[in-house]
Structure 1
Amino acid sequence: MSDPIQDPTTTGPAPEPAIAELMATRCTSCGSQLAYAPGTSYLRCTCMSQVEIADAGHVVEQAYEAWARENAGQSPVAASVLRTLRCDGCGAQMQSANLSDSCQFCAGHLVAVSAVEGTVAPSGVLPFALDSSAAQAAVVKWVQSRWLAPNALKDVNGTEALRGTYVPHWAFDADTTTDYTGQRGEEYWEGEGEERTREVRWYSARGTTKRRFDDVLVVGTTTLSEKQLDDLTPWDTASIVPFQPGYLAGYSTVSYDVDPAAGLEKAKQKMAGPIRKDVEKDIGGDEQRVHSLQTAYANVMFTLLLLPVWIMTYMYAGKQWQVMVNATTGEVIGKRPYSPVKVTLAILAALAVVITLIVLFLRN
């Protein structure tokens, strides 16, 4: 991990990262590690002791315009700020930008309880609903359904470990007003009989559409595949609870490196599709041409959410492959190798079917 960036106007070494305030994760009964129990609202110890996670009230949203004024439209991303995490088990120290992590020496749980000044703190968390066994079962089912994959891949699920990880996402709400210009096409027919042709008569169109967007999710990190994470949708947003550090115990939590300004631009890109469909519907007719769109965004609110993912990374044929599991729905998304032999056999089988159909057609 790279060292903190130094201010070019100063001399001497960069200041030491501050020691983060960590949540106590030791069981008061036996001294073992407490970890969040998926699907519950408490921490559980191996001795079966339980500690209830306090209710933090409600998920708080921020007004984007107010944030932009206070931060001049930008702020340090949490992933760029290192903190020193000191394990309360073995006493080892490590530097990390993550909100939660594991001790490199004793695998103790390290959970920061406060955000770095100037960064956005998470307001909501979607707790893990599937434990590692359930996630493992989902991966096994996914692997077995990939019949074009090499046979050796069937053994990967039994040897590779799944890592429970909370992934940062921005959630945006906005009221949109869109002024548009375009053309409405109305079909008519020319000629008679076989000479009859379909024509379109075009008319100028302009107007305004409005739409309210709620919880437009944008991946807040570039360390994982944005496409794969988007493919894990839908997320059970109805089960999101106010953030409490206890939900992170036993899991790693990636800090965001996409700031709110960049997140909003991505959210606008996601809003563009529904807005265009609204405009086409408003134009009406049989066909539509959209010439220009001018969209204004009002009452923009945002919040930082942590969403749960089981991640498995494995090596096959000298290449790294990654599989992700939505830890609330069990949806599995991933990349896997293809067996050249199986692909060839599938192509030959398809060709055989086509040739057979052609022969039968010619005979008839």
Structure 2
Amino acid sequence: MSQPTQTQYPCSGCGANLEFAPGTTVLKCPYCGAETPVGPAERAIREHSWAQFAGLPRKPISALAPHVFTCQGCGAVTQSDKISDRCQFCGAALVADISPAEQVVPEAVLPFLVDRAALRDALRAWASSRWFAPNSLKRVTEAESSHSSYLPHWTYDANTVSEYAGERGEHYWVTETYTEDGQTKTRQVQRTRWYPAHGMVSRSFDDVLVTGTSRVMPKHLETLEPWPLPDAEPYRPAFLAGHETLRYDVEPENGLESAKSVMAGVIRDDCERDIGGDEQRVHSVDTAYHDVTFKLMLLPVWIACYLHAGRTYNVLVNGRTAEVAGERPYSRAKIAAAVVAALLLIAAIIVLVQLNRN
């Protein structure tokens, strides 16, 4: 089991635990309102060499024991696999001290900018823009159904050199004779002449983003992009206080393979541009990766849950841009009403046309 170490930030005024206030650079007491500035970064954000990391012995993340938190407020001992959480008994903010010997330590964090008021505005606008949604969708704006969470993401950098083989297609036109209604006619028809093509392209990739958790649907997280990654801060535990932080469960090796898949699509486009012509066929691409680096980042997401017809729906909100993505139910009654209204409108138009003809 992990060492029972964690960081808490007691308020100098009332003794309660401080929490990071979204949109600020301070830790704020949820009771008396006292504020303490987040400490300055001790170093800049670093990229880590993949070659060096790959040679290090380590356990898979799934084999690690949960963190053990001992609340300094009520003395309760709780276990969690999250990096930051709340005491299950008194709700105090808890942040685990992460050991680099056990897992990859976050290198950067994009602090929350969207607070609860802005969250409710974003959810209200999203809910009102959903066509054919049931009236119960408005429940998603309730503050009690949402919580703030930092989600782990991997970023990868690489210099690539790719050799490709394919074909270049060039269009030309021929005159074709055909018969229509007993008459002989001609028309111009496009044809394509193919030529072998091969060559080499190179590209540098920076901060290819890959989700580091399987607990949140990737398609919803992708909808929240783009993220303002240049605004990220060097990792400091204080930014996590009062917010849930998931520990990554996607190993960095798997993340790299996903990043290479993203890179492959860009490289293929480069190959097609290099081939030129009117059309292109790419038969094979052999890519060499150089100077591969990576880092673990924490990105802010509000997660809202609501019930409808016995099913739980999840909605995600980008904690920096307020972009909303997620699941939504449909109202059969509203859809049926819309269909009936459309049929009545069509029928009315037909009647008007007939009357005008008569």
TM-score (norm 2): 0.91
In structure 2, what is the Cα distance between the partners aligned to 1:311 and 1:237?
A: 20
Q: Corresponding residue for 1:163?
A: 147
In 1, are the aligned partners of 2:46 and 2:295 still within 8 Å (CA)?
yes
Q: Does 1:280 align with 2:265?
A: no
Q: CA deviation at 1:195?
A: 2.1
User: Matched residue of 1:191: which SS?
Assistant: strand
Q: Does 1:32 align with 2:16?
A: yes
1:9-158 to 2 correspondences below 5 Å:
17-45=1-29, 46-56=31-41, 57-71=43-57, 75-77=59-61, 80-115=64-99, 117-158=101-142
Q: Corresponding residue for 2:202?
A: 210
Instruction: Answer with 1 or 2: which has the greater Rg.
Output: 2
2:294 alignment partner, one of 302, 306, 320: 302
Identify unmatched segments of 5+ residues in structure 2: 177-184
In structure 1, what is the Cα distance between the partners aligned to 2:202 and 2:333?
A: 54
1:262-297 deviation digits (Å, cap 9, x = unpaired): 000011111121111111111100100111111111
Could you say which structure has the higher strand fraction? 2
User: Matched residue of 2:56: which SS?
Assistant: helix
In 2, are the aligned partners of 1:160 and 1:313 still within 8 Å (CA)?
no
Q: Corresponding residue for 1:6?
A: none
In structure 2, what is the Cα distance between the partners aligned to 1:155 and 1:236?
A: 29
In structure 2, what is the Cα distance between the partners aligned to 1:39 and 1:131?
A: 7
The residue type equivalent to 1:58 in the other structure is: A
In structure 2, what is the Cα distance between the partners aligned to 1:286 and 1:53?
A: 57
- Describe the shift of the 1:94–1:79 C-alpha distance in structure 2 as closer, same or farther (beyond 3 A): farther
- Describe the shift of the 1:276–1:116 C-alpha distance in structure 2 as closer, same or farther (beyond 3 A): same
2:165 alignment partner, one of 166, 173, 181: 181
In structure 1, what is the Cα distance between the partners aligned to 2:54 and 2:340?
A: 59
User: Matched residue of 2:46: which SS?
Assistant: coil
2:259 alignment partner, one of 242, 258, 267: 267
Q: CA deviation at 1:358?
A: 8.5
The residue type equivalent to 2:321 in the other structure is: T
In structure 2, what is the Cα distance between the partners aligned to 1:209 and 1:146?
A: 44
Identify unmatched segments of 5+ residues in structure 1: 1-16
1:159-195 deviation digits (Å, cap 9, x = unpaired): 7421000000001001111110000001010016742
Q: Corresponding residue for 2:217?
A: 225
In 2, are the aligned partners of 1:75 and 1:259 still within 8 Å (CA)?
no
1:11-42 deviation digits (Å, cap 9, x = unpaired): xxxxxx13332112211221122010112222
In 2, are the aligned partners of 1:124 and 1:304 still within 8 Å (CA)?
yes
Q: Corresponding residue for 1:243?
A: 235
In 2, are the aligned partners of 1:172 and 1:267 still within 8 Å (CA)?
yes
Residue correspondences, number: 346
User: Matched residue of 2:304: which SS?
Assistant: strand
- Describe the shift of the 1:205–1:22 C-alpha distance in structure 2 as closer, same or farther (beyond 3 A): same
The residue type equivalent to 1:130 in the other structure is: V
In 2, are the aligned partners of 1:87 and 1:93 still within 8 Å (CA)?
yes
In structure 2, what is the Cα distance between the partners aligned to 1:18 and 1:304?
A: 20
In structure 2, what is the Cα distance between the partners aligned to 1:255 and 1:36?
A: 19
Q: CA deviation at 1:92?
A: 0.3
In structure 2, what is the Cα distance between the partners aligned to 1:270 and 1:312?
A: 29
In structure 2, what is the Cα distance between the partners aligned to 1:219 and 1:353?
A: 48
In structure 1, what is the Cα distance between the partners aligned to 2:138 and 2:66?
A: 39
TM-score (norm 1): 0.89
The residue type equivalent to 1:269 in the other structure is: S
In structure 2, what is the Cα distance between the partners aligned to 1:357 and 1:282?
A: 55
- Describe the shift of the 1:173–1:295 C-alpha distance in structure 2 as closer, same or farther (beyond 3 A): same
Q: Corresponding residue for 2:182?
A: none
In 2, are the aligned partners of 1:101 and 1:109 still within 8 Å (CA)?
yes
The residue type equivalent to 2:46 in the other structure is: V
Q: CA deviation at 1:351?
A: 5.4
2:285 alignment partner, one of 289, 293, 299: 293
Q: Percent identity?
A: 44
- Describe the shift of the 1:59–1:359 C-alpha distance in structure 2 as closer, same or farther (beyond 3 A): farther
1:57-98 deviation digits (Å, cap 9, x = unpaired): 211211111111123xx7421784312111111000111111
